[in-house]
Homo-oligomer: A and B are copies of this chain.
């Protein structure tokens, strides 16, 4: 059989996103065993790097051996007891996924809902928390399905006053936008590697606050899912180095290298670069006569959601971008199906040149798909 020969894509979707060249190189480096001293050195570098991008001093910071959704299930199963109450602030698809996992896990799930693309104020969160008094509250920091960015403090402040732990889905924010886990009062945050960290998918960065760690230690029941049992995982990744599962070593290599690239650039400088590209993106979108889906001040800086202009076939735009320009973007789904484009400008593509490349192709494909109102 001939060797694998993938097309060269420009990944302007919500993820996977463009990978740093040095990350590709790292994956091609020699494999070691999961108990090799070198692996634990890599793991420690990953832990320290993740602390930087998460913005936390949490000792209990690691990577779960699965994609972002595995981190979500790790959070739900380790911190929400069957029969316990989970309050999910839901204004998008991924919040609904947390609720679904909670239901499957036997929790009493209450959803506090807003339309897709909106966010919650502290007053709204407080009202729901006071009414429901949940064991755990969950929210999505950067909602991949809508492009909306939730202020964590609006949830964590009232939640902590009422004694609830808070789970934050940081799948789309980590590495490209500040989370500041400690300042934000987030108790458990999970993420992925294939968005803001510019790595391939396959690991879920995870961090646990000292408060949540106490809760975990005091928990009597064993986690219902062995693979996601944080107590067992902490014995492997901690000083004991007690075998749990075989860590996906090359994914750790990739994550270590992606984090090294971020630290070399500087975490804050990287956030600023993404914010600058976002401002430029919005300026150019609005100059075309198009509009953003999310209100200003509530937008994920590196995942832009643009309203599909009246009369335009969004699937045709996406197909043409991929076929003629090797550019991947995504459409909306659920209540936003056919209504928005989801356009990620992240990592190596978050540059003026990246924007030029994207807008040149996007304008041509919109015209092909019959966008009369677009000023070009």
Taking Cβ atoms with an 8 Å cutoff, the residues of A that contact B are 1-9, 11, 13, 15-16, 18-19, 22, 24-34, 36, 38, 42, 45, 65-70, 73, 77, 97, 100-101, 104-106, 192, 194, 200-202, 222-227, 243-251, 253-254, 256-257, 260, 263-264, 322, 328, 333
Contact = CB atoms under 8 A, between A and B. Distances in A.
B9 A31 contact: yes
Contacts of A1: 45, 260, 263-264
A246 B68 contact: yes
B3 A30 contact: no
Contacts of A65: 66-67, 70, 202
Most buried by B among A33, A105, A247: A33
A250 B24 CA distance: 10
A227 B192 CA distance: 14
B33 A11 contact: yes
Nearest to A1: B260
Nearest to A64: B66
A93 B117 CA distance: 49
Contacts of A223: 104
Given A65-B66, A73-B225, A104-B225, 8 more contacts: A4-B253, A16-B249, A18-B31, A34-B201, A67-B245, A67-B246, A97-B226, A104-B226
A73 to B, nearest CB: 5
A28 B30 contact: no
Contact of A192 (B31, B69, B246): B246
B34 A6 contact: no
Contacts of A36: 7, 9, 322, 328
Nearest to A193: B248
A200 B249 contact: yes
Contacts of A19: 31
A202 B248 contact: yes
Nearest to A8: B30
A256 B5 CA distance: 11
Contacts of A254: 250
A137 to B, nearest CB: 19
A373 to B, nearest CB: 28
The 8 closest A-B pairs by CB, nearest first: A202-B248, A1-B260, A200-B250, A27-B27, A28-B28, A69-B245, A24-B28, A66-B66
Nearest to A229: B104
B4 A16 contact: no
Given A4-B253, A16-B33, A104-B225, A194 B246 contact: yes
Contacts of A264: 1
Contact of A226 (B28, B69, B244, B247): B69
A6 B38 contact: yes
Contacts of A68: 245-246
Nearest to A247: B201
A11 B34 CA distance: 11
Contact of A6 (B97, B253, B260): B253
A314 to B, nearest CB: 14
A16 B6 CA distance: 26
A1 B266 CA distance: 11
A227 B328 contact: no
